[in-house]
Amino acid sequence: METLITERLVLRPFRKEDLDDFYEYAKNPSVGPNAGWKPHESKEESREILERFIAEEESWAIIHKDTDKLIGSIGLHNDARRNNSRVKMLGYVLNEAYWGQGIMTEAAKRVLKYAFENLDLNLVSVYHYPSNIRSKRVIEKCGFHYEGTLRRANELYDGSIHDSMCYSLIKEEYRG
């Protein structure tokens, strides 16, 4: 995975040494459930998932340049809802202590640049649950187009069912 740089952030591959910072945000019940996953219950659980991230090479670790701390992740994943090898789905989470500073918008814009200019993707998709207004704003600020709502599209780990708000950006719409 290529390392990507922005004004305040370094987006680099995950490393084993990221475990403590990873567990710090992954155990927070305000973080994972908004992205569809259960908060981590132990550092051991985080270790296993971290090893998967390292092997899969789909997610960048978001590092704050000022402190060299891991504060979140952002990735380009296969989109199970679209049958096109030049499509990827954007996903992201951020440590709650860093919310509201424009950090994820900064990271997402850099990843979109890489997706269209380096990976030559056709389309990047992104989804959020109706209640996740913060993510909605990130998506809007990145220039995504709203496609519609897939009703009752996701059943979560706790059995709850959620609609999925669908967005995409195609290469021709991307302005850099």
Ligand X SMILES: CC(C)(COP(=O)(O)OP(=O)(O)OC[C@H]1O[C@@H](n2cnc3c(N)ncnc32)[C@H](O)[C@@H]1OP(=O)(O)O)[C@@H](O)C(=O)NCCC(=O)NCCS
Whose CA is closest to 19, among 39, 56, 55, 45? Answer: 45
Task: Give CA–CA dist 168/176, Å, rounded.
Answer: 15
Task: Give CA–CA dist 40/139, Å, rounded.
Answer: 26
Whose CA is closest to 121, among 60, 168, 164? Answer: 168
In the complex with ligand X, which residue's Cβ is closer, 120 or 161?
161
Q: Does 134 bind ligand X (CB under 6 A)?
A: yes
In the complex with ligand X, which residue's Cβ is closer, 87 or 172?
87
Task: Give CA–CA dist 83/72, Å, rounded.
Answer: 28
Applying CB under 6 A, among 59, 73, 135, 168 the residue interacting with ligand X is 135
Kind of pairing between the strands at 87-94 and 59-64: unpaired
Q: Does 138 bind ligand X (CB under 6 A)?
A: yes
Tokens, residue 115: 């997706």
Stretch near ligand X under the rule CB under 6 A, chosen from 10-18, 37-45, 89-97, 153-161? 89-97
From the CB of 59, what's the least distance to ligand X, in Å? 12
Applying CB under 6 A, among 128, 144, 166, 168 the residue interacting with ligand X is 128
Applying CB under 6 A, among 9, 11, 26, 31 the residue interacting with ligand X is 31
Where on the chain is the footprint of ligand X (CB under 6 A)?
A: 31, 34-35, 92-94, 99-105, 128, 132-135, 137-138
